A and B are shown apart, each in its own frame.
Chain A
Amino acid sequence: MKRILLVIRRELAIWTKRPVYLLGSVGVMALSAIFFLTFFSQGLPEKLPIGVVDLDHSSTSRNFTQQLDATQMGRVVDFDDISSARREMDAGRITSYVIIPEHFDADVQSFRCPKMEIYVNTMYPVIGGALAYKDIAFMVNLTNGAVQRQVLRAKGVPEGEIMARIQPVVIDAHNIGNSPASYAYYLNNMVLMCILAMCIMLVVSYSLASELKYGTSKQLLRISGDSLAVALAGKLTPYTLLFTVLGFVLQLIMFGPLHYPLAGSVWVMLLATLLLVLATEAVAVFVVSMVPTLRISVCISALYSVLAFSFAGFTLPVTSLPAALRGMSCIYPIRFYYQIFVREAYFGSGFAGWWPMCVCLLLFGLLPAIGSKRLYNAYKYQQYPRN
């Protein structure tokens, strides 16, 4: 115990001498948090640019354009001809465009069913195109509704029945866990925790392997009484504390002042954060013990961490991965954190929902045991190339 304290003190002294440890953890997380928490602050994109090519110039077509412009989602950009609208859309400067045909007004009045053409650039940032399309389709439907309403009124259909005739079926949509379909709620928690896991991988493997590069590992073993377990416990305690506190602060900011939706208990999220930190540290120890060279182990940690964004399953669900790759997601602690997060923050499922994932995260704790002999030898004899 006393030896562990000595190692901890030694580690803290290293922190003060070399700024990379604090910059790589606190600095990185602070900058990331500032970026992601402000970048998505709007929640859902508004006022997406939608092109309108009005070939009719009638009051009906102008009315349509104005209504479209007034929707929260859309902002109308006027074009005189189709080719320039097409060019702008191809270059990604507008999401989509609508062509209002000539004689539109006259055709509507005389029931000749004019056709509007809607072109959508579905490559426009993921939801941009889809949202704009939804917006235009909605306006077209409203226009239809308005015309139908006129006809039905003229036929003397009672006012109460008109809406039921125009739209007999309506959908009352509920979004569980993220009712405004906000991008911030959807992405920020997971992206920030992914970056936290990335920092843990990098900083911990850097810290463990730099003992080898700078030839200080023998001294470390001497302080810890020739026991790798004591050395690791001492070295990792400050990191565990540091990263857990960072994770807690982020969770509390999101669920506290920023009011991110949380169906369950914030304590569970803190527990999940602690387990994520421990499991990720275990992976980092494993990497260093397998490849006890500073430059290579840091590279491997980086290459491994970058893929976590894809394998965690919050962008593309794991079930949509090719069958051969699905298993890959299990080597990422963040995958299990994500499952706890969904169960607790979205559904509030309680202990019954998330305990299996906690067990999985704890199992990562066994990883360092596999390579401990190898790491001990590396520390003791420094027989690997330093660079």
Chain B
Amino acid sequence: MDAKKTYFGKWVADAWSVFVNELKMISRDGGVMLIFLFAGLVYPPLYHWIYSRGVVEEMPVAVVDLSNGIYSRRYIDKVDASSECDIAFKCLSLEEARQLMAMGKVHGIIFIPEDFDERLEYVEQGVVSTYADMSTFLYYKNLTLATNLVMLDEIHSIQAERYAAAGYVGQDAEQLIEPVQNNSFLKYNPNISFTMFFIYMAMMMILQQVMFYGSSTLAGTLREQGHGFLPQDGRGMGRVVLGRGLAYLLIFVFLGAYGAILVPHLFNMPAQCRWSDILVLLLFYVTDVIFFSFTWSSAIYKRETVLVLLLFVTPIAVFLTGFTWPTSNFPVFWKYVSYVFPSTFGCRAYMTLCNTGSLAAIAPEIRAMTLQTAVYFVLASVAAYIENRFSKSF
């Protein structure tokens, strides 16, 4: 029967049997199913849920107002009115406020010295001291934002009052106060919410890590049982790599569409692009991730060790996407290391795609992923070939 098949026919039949076999093995393996189902299906909505608010609102702040005049009270009222801060305590001394902060009751202190109003009346500079709880940068951001915006507003009001006293009103005063004006457009994420950075990154990262740990666990199982992936006649690492790849492609395009299209849609995450564009990105990304996983899983010889030894790579890959620390400021060595991971390009591409809505904008990332795919395909094939030769020599 086999003899009648052409080389091509045999090739397809082999690839098909590897494909079916891989799906069977995945579905029979409890550990792998747990990783795929729990991490692949539960994590995306869970992360959306965890970060659904993403900002701190009405952060409790203590105020020490020793001046207690018109200006100081107006300043405090304006801070209280902001959505970032809530004046929770009015303290009589800085020491009292510090203790509240050390006990975690407030996350910021605004201190207004005795001479604040007096200095402003005498046309001198009034100083407001702020003390931020740095335990989370979101606290720091809130206090800085609220106190600075109120400061700018106050500068405006006070200058307007003074120019009015000097006889300048209306447009004349306006021209003097702000000779250069500016319009600011904070695009895509106007309240600088943590959610937006994290979610886009997390959705792509989950795909990569789930694929890597899942397929490595399987590879480890097979090697523990003493055989590799190759069909018995031992020929053709290309069809094995492709056949296995197809099996995962089937699963991960589904998981990807679920995590990157359906779940964000249900949680009302902004996506300026069509869902078909995301699907195109997913095809490139998932293919890349599959060959990436095949390559690196060649080194796994025991099934459970992959999680024990390599789970710590997840937080590192997360930071290498540049989602908190800008890529332009990576130390050079780590910049090159980041090129190892498909997620570096995938996360950035997904974020850009959702924000700008065009595939053209992510062309460089797509190109990088294609190159990566090619390199990893070759590496994975070579690894399969070497393993095969090696195991036959016994």
Contact = CB atoms under 8 A, between A and B. Distances in A.
Given A48-B329, A321-B50, A321-B53, A169 B151 contact: yes
Interface in A36-78: 36, 38-42, 45-49
A172 B185 CA distance: 27
Nearest to B141: A130
Given A108-B180, A119-B185, A353-B102, A169 B154 contact: yes
B189 A122 contact: yes
Interface in A264-320: 293-296, 298-303, 305-307, 309-311, 313-317, 319-320
Among B34, B50, B137, B326, the most chain A Cβ lie within 10 Å of the Cβ of B326
Given A91-B362, A113-B178, A199-B312, A320 B55 contact: yes
A128 interface: yes
Interface string B168-182: 000000111111111
A116 B129 contact: no
A303 B38 contact: yes
Contacts of B174: 113
B81 interface: no
A213 B154 CA distance: 69
Given A92-B352, A170-B151, A305-B311, A296 B326 contact: no
Contact of A315 (B128, B194, B327): B194
Interface stretch (B7-15, B19-27, B252-260, B317-325): B317-325
A171 interface: yes
A32 B134 CA distance: 24
B56 A20 contact: no
A174 B132 CA distance: 6
Contacts of B124: 161, 164
Contacts of B178: 113, 144
Contact of A313 (B39, B136, B159, B213): B136
At the interface, is chain A mostly helix, strand, loop or mixed? helix
Interface string B26-44: 0000110011001100000
B55 A126 contact: no
Nearest to A306: B314
Given A87-B361, A123-B355, A346-B135, A168 B125 contact: yes
A349 interface: yes
B183 to A, nearest CB: 5
Contact of A91 (B51, B329, B364): B364
B54 A320 contact: yes
B83 interface: no
Contact of A117 (B138, B185, B316): B185
A298 B188 contact: no
A382 interface: no
B47 interface: yes
A210 B224 CA distance: 14
Contacts of A170: 125-128, 151
Nearest to A348: B102
A16 to B, nearest CB: 16
Interface in A241-281: none
A137 interface: yes
**Which of the four size classes fits the interface of chain B?**
35 or more
Nearest to A38: B331
Contact of B144 (A173, A187, A295): A173
B54 A316 contact: yes
B364 to A, nearest CB: 7
Contacts of A305: 311
Contacts of A325: 49-50
Contacts of B131: 174-176
Nearest to B220: A295
A307 B202 CA distance: 12
B39 to A, nearest CB: 6
Interface stretch (A178-186, A219-227, A370-378): A178-186
B355 A32 contact: no
B303 interface: yes
A124 B185 contact: no
Interface stretch (A4-12, A190-198, A232-240): A190-198
Given A24-B309, A171-B151, 20 more contacts: A35-B334, A90-B356, A95-B326, A116-B182, A120-B186, A122-B196, A123-B351, A125-B324, A163-B125, A169-B155, A170-B126, A171-B148, A174-B129, A175-B134, A295-B217, A299-B307, A317-B136, A321-B50, A346-B133, A346-B135
11 contacts: A20-B305, A24-B308, A117-B184, A120-B185, A121-B187, A122-B188, A161-B123, A168-B159, A169-B128, A175-B132, A195-B315
Interface of B: 30-31, 34-35, 38-39, 46-47, 49-57, 71, 75, 101-104, 120, 123-141, 144, 147-148, 151, 154-155, 158-159, 162, 174-190, 192, 194, 196-198, 200, 213, 217, 302-305, 307-309, 311-312, 314-316, 319, 322-331, 333-334, 348, 351-352, 355-356, 361-362, 364
